[in-house]
A and B are shown apart, each in its own frame.
Chain A
């Protein structure tokens, strides 16, 4: 089984560590740390900060360019417009990195659709069962998407009308 490389971009250390633990125990999944171009490894506190403003989108894209994860979990913060710009840039510059959104209960469906429209390939609640995170990695890695049927219904309405 080919190893799937995964990176996590979430400013919340507790959530990030919890997801890392779920993923690291699984055979065939490698969770990446932030390896800089000079080859040194840094701690997980240096994971891409995705709650930065527009100016740092380019910096974050560059870091993803170094890491080149197959799957990138990103916490979606719809109050930060830079998130959507980042998704669009990632989809354009690194289409081989598949983004899966991490959301909390307060997220509006329209924001999720906007993020999917900007190139994300899936969406999961932070509270999802660990099994679903592992399955989402496998499903998205083989080119499919991880989106609820309800969300697909809303997307189809948007596409057709």
Chain B
């Protein structure tokens, strides 16, 4: 099901011509109807007029998305700035194009979005890659910083920290390592101090986040 949403009958007619062969089509002419139909019909695709009265930009669109997270949004607009258009994609929109797009082209857009593709102008797509690079760099920096912290642990301390990360209790750890619970607690106190954390949960997050399942490079001293 494809839901078309616009207060312009001309736009609805032209869009319907483009996509009617792809799936059953339903039209809404106002925001309240769009909300209702998103919940009722759970359409696969929503073609949404950016100028729909009371839509309220990215925030309004984000609100609509919550009504049915499975629906893929394609926003059609007259003229919007690169910043606003990029903001729509950051909200989760899967495609943006002009309101007066030719029906055959709209069919290609919807077909692509149905397949999981992103319909974004090439001149905007570099922003997406930049975000991926920045996000990855930050993740790697955190991983390195945490790795350096963990490298300060002794071999035994690292071993115990890993077992805490696996969800084991002090009793289980003691049994596994053939040491007393008291010794486990003493080691953990030192681990907490070195990593500057206050509890097992934070310790577990650090350990789980820094080491992949196959990583054997962390040996401690």
Contact = CB atoms under 8 A, between A and B. Distances in A.
Q: How large is the interface on B (under 10, 10 to 19, 20 to 34, 35 or more residues)?
A: 20 to 34
B132 A153 contact: no
Interface string A113-153: 10011110100000000000000000100011101111011
A145 B112 CA distance: 19
B117 A150 contact: yes
- The A interface, classified by DSSP as helix, strand, loop or mixed, is helix
Contacts of B115: 150
B120 interface: yes
Contacts of A156: 89, 94, 118, 128
Interface in A18-71: none
Contacts of B131: 159
B132 A116 contact: yes
Interface string B123-146: 101101101110110001000000
Contacts, number: 62
A1 interface: no
Interface residues of A, number: 24
Contact of B122 (A91, A119, A144, A153): A144
B119 to A, nearest CB: 7
A139 B117 contact: no
Interface of A: 88, 91, 113, 116-119, 121, 139, 143-145, 147-150, 152-156, 158-160
Given A145-B125, A160-B90, 14 more contacts: A88-B140, A113-B132, A117-B132, A117-B135, A118-B133, A118-B136, A145-B122, A147-B129, A148-B117, A149-B120, A150-B117, A155-B129, A156-B128, A158-B132
